[in-house]
Structure 1
Amino acid sequence: MGTGPFAKAGNRLPIGSDAASVRQRVEVLEQALERMFVIPGINRPVGIDTLLGLLPVGGSFIGAAFGGYMIWEARNLGMGKGAMARMAGNVGLDWLFGLIPGIGIIPDFFFRSNTRNLRIIRKHLDKHHPSTVVVEG
């Protein structure tokens, strides 16, 4: 099958609106955006979000749209406005950094908004939907 981000989902993502399906979709999305492959030599994982940073201005907007999708999924889970505001702040800051010409890609190595937002979603799911917890090993 492979070891990429979509191999975890068996090459098919669930389309349901239940918490377990949402968890699986946002985890695969975060992995694709932030940890799709490792840069040889520096052993640093990067993903689509970093590659989008190579596109002037437009890449930042596309990355923000992916982040917006994660926020939409969080809203569908019934997350609180405070948590969603933190998620929007993470996406907004990532978007703003990405607009800086020439160096906008550098923050993508250190400020991973999608990873931060996944942590927020997982915390909510672990508390309100404990049956969705997946033990990785």
Structure 2
Amino acid sequence: MTTQSKEYTNDPSYKTLKRISSIMDEAIPIPGTKFSIGGDALIGMLPVVGDTVSVIVSGIALFSVARNGLPIRLILAMAFNLLIDYLIGLVPALGDFLDIFYRANRNNLKMLEGYYEKNPEAIHQVNKNSTGLIIFTAFIFLILSGIIITVGYFVKSMIWQTFGLS
């Protein structure tokens, strides 16, 4: 690797993501092992609120990086990692355990480094994750649309029956 390809390490948004990744995913080493846990796993033990605080902190790093004019697919891929981490953490007990192993911030840092270094594997991961977010968003949109249409139909039916319009 050339020195020129590592210039991104001086970027303040990269440093912010790296710092948050370290704090949220790897801050506390477990003695006698090569394993560590971070603030994300600890904060996440507070039901719903902890995971929400955790994703907000991680979102700050994502926002910082997004302001640098990076490709939308990279930002979407990083957001998808945070969404998966948030959804995993919402599962009672099991989510707290799994949250220790799914390190969204570290994954985002690796994707960003891979993007800057033009690593084909990282670029493939970016494309896969951004597509995953697009599909997930479309799925949620369809579900919410179905719910709104169904509720609207029942409300309309109740109103019509109340006023004898049916």
1:107 equivalent to 2:90? Answer no
Equivalent-residue separation in structure 2 for 1:125 and 1:54 (angstroms): 34
Q: Which amino acid aligns with 1:80?
A: P
Unpaired runs of 5+ residues, structure 1, are 1-18, 128-137
Calculate the TM-score normalised by the size of structure 1. 0.72
Q: Distance in 1 between matches of 2:32 and 2:45?
A: 20
| Residue matched to 1:27 | 18
Deviation per CA, 1:85-121, whole angstroms, max 9, x where unpaired?
A: 1111110010001111122111222211010111122
Identify unmatched segments of 5+ residues in structure 2.
1-9, 119-166
Partner of 2:70: 79
Deviation (angstroms), 1:124: 3.5
Q: State which of 32, 57, 60 in structure 2 corresponds to 1:69.
A: 60
Task: List structure 1 runs of 4+ shifted beyond 3 angstroms.
Answer: 124-127
Deviations 1:39-92 (A, max 9, x none): 235542111101012111111101111221122112111111111111111100
Q: Which residue of 2 aligns with 1:44?
A: 35
Question: What is the aligned-residue RMSD (CA, Å)?
Answer: 1.9
Counterpart-to-counterpart distance in 1, 2:15 and 2:99: 23
Match in the other structure for 2:126: none
Higher helix share: 2
**2:78 aligned partner, one-letter code:** M
Compute the TM-score of the two structures, normalised by the length of structure 2. 0.60
Report the counterpart of residue 152 of structure 2 in structure 1.
none
Secondary structure, aligned partner of 1:111: coil
Distance of 2:65 and 2:15 partners within structure 1:
13
| Counterpart position of 1:134 | none
Aligned residue runs from structure 1 range 111-126, under 5 A:
111-126=102-117
Q: Is the 8 A contact 1:79 1:124 kept in 2?
A: no
What is the total number of aligned residue pairs between the two structures? 110
Identity among equivalent pairs (%)? 27
CA distance in 2 between counterparts of 1:108 and 1:88 reads: 16
